[in-house]
């Protein structure tokens, strides 16, 4: 027998630990977690609390203190997740804590707080109300409830502003009607008070009068319903009498039909063949009922044979083709006027809207990127620097833009500003859009009262390249000399902020545009750049109008 023994399996044997020892380990891990929590080391605290929970997994749940300790640990984990701004995980941990102890006040508060931070405002409100119901002196819950209510109010106001403004811009659907009814009721009350004063009788206040009017309206409605019911009863009684007369007339018609049959035998063969006995009975019965749609005269031709196709004359065919063409044109044109968004709403009687944000974003990018400003003066002379030209002039220059420019004091700010306005006309300058960035757009096509409303609201930034060439006649220079140009290039941004299809009264697209510059503008170019940007804003406004035309074709 071999003396080599098998390796020890003691490591594979699970360590047997008493529940008391496991509870002690769990409490030790909990204390370590509390220490880390106080030091704001929330991730480490979570690890310690989870170690404590692992120790408790080996203990029967009915062991004394096990459930309450689990609830405390889960509650502490929830607080730690709140510390690292993970409210969703905090909600889950707090809910686990309440499973083990539904009366854990801290877990209740932490779940409400986590729901508040996660945006679950209604759930947070319900948790706060439950805590206050159980403990009226719970000030923490009251303070949190006040915050929740304030945030709900703000959210409702924002939602009202976002969605309610949609109807305000298009005129509203119900506000006008409500205002009209209130105005009508007010006029009626004024008439009532005037009549009472003329009679010298006591006047009721508006609320009492309104209540009285509602009661009288209910009485009138009840009388109207009773009148309708009475008319319905009379109609049913009359119908019953008609049925009785019809049955009685049927018996009499049998006698008449026998007499008619005898008479028919005496008539000519052609006349006797018109109506048989059964048809005569039907005619007699229908005559008793008030209306008769039958006649004794048959239409011309033999009804037993299929109709023979008739050739259509050329004139008739031309008329038919013309009518069909007109119908086709109407069908093609009409949809562009009052076409609906959905096929089921062809008449446009139901409100609906279609999101066009994606299409508008793409179209706006393409349209705005095409905005350019360019000034290319064509001077027939050698390139001359505009500033040097005016320095050589010893006279005062009068322009359509400014008053006289004092050449002797050309460096004065006023004279430089005036000079830049003049240079606007003779400098070669341009503004080009390099890119369209930060595009945010919200657009809908709404069908309201059978009319399409094209709504949009967007913001973006236009990256610009601004070029200024101070040499007159630079367009006439050859490509070889173009590198020697005194052109200055600046980078800038034109911010378009909240441009909407429904602008405020007296406000234009240009008012929503603001320019900023990455480079420092030279002093002699400041006024010139400002004038260029003003003109470029007008060009961008034209591009927005061009976009609107494309939008309205959708």
pLDDT in tens, 518-531: 888 888 788 888 88
Does residue 371 share a domain with residue 330?
A: no
Minimum mean pLDDT range among 171-185, 332-346, 368-382: 332-346
- DSSP-based helix, strand, coil % in the chain, nearest 5: 60, 15, 25
Share of the chain above pLDDT 90, in %: 17
- Is the predicted pLDDT of residue 257 greater than 70, yes or no? no
Is 307 among the domain residues?
Answer: no
CB 135 within 8 A of CB 105: yes
Is 177 among the domain residues?
Answer: no
Sign of the Cα pseudo-torsion (264, 270, 271, 275, in order): positive
Is 182 among the domain residues?
Answer: no
Minimum mean pLDDT range among 183-192, 240-249, 271-280: 271-280
Does residue 436 share a domain with residue 424?
A: yes
Does residue 337 share a domain with residue 421?
A: no
DSSP sequence for 444-491: EEEEETTEEEEEEEEEEEEEEEEEEE-BTTGGGS-GGGGGG--EEEEE
pLDDT for 463: 93
Is 70 among the domain residues?
Answer: yes
Alpha-carbon span 464 to 518, nearest angstrom: 10
- Is the predicted pLDDT of residue 391 greater than 80, yes or no? no
Q: What are phi and psi of 395, to 5 degrees?
A: -105, 170
Domain tally, the chain:
4
Is 373 among the domain residues?
Answer: yes
Does residue 454 share a domain with residue 414?
A: yes
Does residue 338 share a domain with residue 372?
A: no
Does residue 536 share a domain with residue 440?
A: yes
The full 3-state SS of 108-162, as one line of letters, equals HHHHHHHHHHHCCHHHHHHHHHHHHHHCCCCHHHHHHHHHHHHHHHHHHHHHHHH
Does residue 87 share a domain with residue 34?
A: yes
DSSP sequence for 244-298: HHHHHHHHHHHHHHHHHHHHHHHS-HHHHTS--HHHHHHHHHHHHTT-----SPP
Q: What are phi and psi of 548, to 5 degrees?
A: -60, -40
- Average model confidence (pLDDT) for the chain? 75
Is 191 among the domain residues?
Answer: no
Does residue 508 share a domain with residue 364?
A: yes
- Is the predicted pLDDT of residue 332 greater than 50, yes or no? no
Does residue 432 share a domain with residue 416?
A: yes
Alpha-carbon span 118 to 360, nearest angstrom: 32
Share of the chain above pLDDT 70, in %: 64
Residue 337's domain comprises 314-350
Query: Higher confidence at residue 543 or residue 335?
Result: 543
- Is the predicted pLDDT of residue 358 greater than 60, yes or no? yes
Pick from 84-98, 289-303, 339-353 the range whose average pLDDT is largest. Answer: 84-98
Confidence band for 432, pLDDT divided at 50, 70 and 90: very high
Does residue 389 share a domain with residue 440?
A: yes
State the average pLDDT over residues 527-538.
89
Does residue 396 share a domain with residue 503?
A: yes
Give 517's contacts (C-beta < 8 A, 6+ positions apart): 466, 490, 491, 492, 493, 529
Does residue 222 share a domain with residue 120?
A: no
Is 331 among the domain residues?
Answer: yes
State the average pLDDT over residues 468-493.
63
pTM to 2 decimal places: 0.35
Is 12 among the domain residues?
Answer: no
């Amino acid at each position: 027998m071999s003396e080599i023994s098998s390796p020890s399996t003691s490591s594979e044997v699970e360590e047997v630990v008493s529940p008391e020892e496991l509870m002690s380990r769990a409490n030790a891990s909990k204390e370590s977690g509390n220490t880390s929590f106080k030091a704001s080391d929330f991730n480490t605290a979570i690890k310690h609390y989870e170690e404590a929970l692992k120790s408790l997994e080996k203990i029967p749940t009915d062991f004394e203190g096990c459930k309450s300790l689990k609830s405390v640990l889960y509650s502490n984990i929830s607080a730690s997740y709140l510390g690292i701004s993970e409210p969703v995980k905090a909600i889950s941990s707090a809910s686990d804590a309440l499973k083990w102890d539904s009366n854990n006040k801290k877990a209740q508060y932490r779940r409400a707080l986590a729901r508040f931070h996660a945006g679950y405002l209604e759930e947070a409100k319900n948790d706060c109300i439950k805590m206050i119901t159980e403990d009226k002196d719970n000030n923490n819950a009251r303070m949190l409830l006040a915050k929740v209510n304030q945030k709900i109010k703000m959210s409702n106001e924002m939602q009202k502003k976002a969605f309610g403004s949609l109807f305000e811009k298009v005129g509203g659907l119900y506000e006008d009607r409500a205002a009209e009814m209130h105005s009508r009721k007010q006029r009626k009350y004024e008439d009532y008070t005037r009549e009472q004063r003329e009679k010298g009788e006591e006047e009721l206040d508006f609320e009492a009068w309104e209540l009285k009017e509602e009661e009288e309206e209910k009485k009138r409605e009840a009388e109207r319903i009773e009148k309708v019911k009475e008319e319905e009863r009379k109609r049913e009684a009359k119908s019953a009498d008609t049925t009785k007369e019809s049955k009685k007339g049927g018996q009499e018609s049998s006698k008449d039909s026998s007499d008619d049959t005898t008479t028919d035998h005496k008539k000519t063969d052609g006349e006797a063949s018109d109506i048989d006995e059964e048809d005569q009975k039907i005619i007699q019965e229908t005559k008793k009922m008030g209306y008769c749609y039958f006649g004794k005269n048959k239409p011309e031709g033999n009804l037993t044979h299929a109709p023979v196709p008739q050739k259509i004359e050329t004139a008739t065919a031309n008329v038919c083709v013309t009518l069909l063409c007109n119908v086709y044109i109407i069908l093609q044109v009409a949809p562009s006027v009052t076409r609906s968004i959905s096929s089921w709403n062809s008449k446009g009687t139901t409100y609906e809207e279609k999101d066009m944000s994606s299409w508008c974003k793409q179209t706006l990018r393409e349209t705005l990127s095409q905005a350019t400003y360019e000034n290319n003066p064509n001077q027939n002379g050698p390139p001359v620097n505009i500033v040097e030209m005016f320095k050589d002039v010893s006279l005062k220059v009068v322009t359509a833009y400014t008053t006289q420019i004092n050449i002797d004091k050309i460096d004065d700010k006023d004279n430089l500003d005036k000079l830049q306005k003049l240079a606007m006309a003779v400098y070669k300058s341009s503004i080009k859009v390099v890119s369209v960035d930060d595009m945010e757009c919200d657009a809908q096509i709404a069908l309201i009262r059978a009319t399409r409303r094209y709504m949009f609201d967007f913001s973006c930034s236009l990256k610009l390249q601004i070029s200024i060439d101070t040499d007159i006649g630079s367009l006439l220079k050859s490509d070889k000399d173009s590198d020697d140009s005194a052109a200055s290039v600046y980078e800038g941004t034109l911010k378009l902020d909240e441009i909407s299809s429904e602008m405020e009264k007296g406000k234009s697209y240009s008012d929503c545009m603001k320019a900023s510059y990455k480079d420092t503008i030279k002093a002699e170019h400041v006024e010139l750049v400002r004038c260029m940007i003003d003109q470029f804003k007008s060009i961008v406004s034209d591009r927005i109008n061009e976009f609107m035309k494309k939008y309205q074709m959708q």
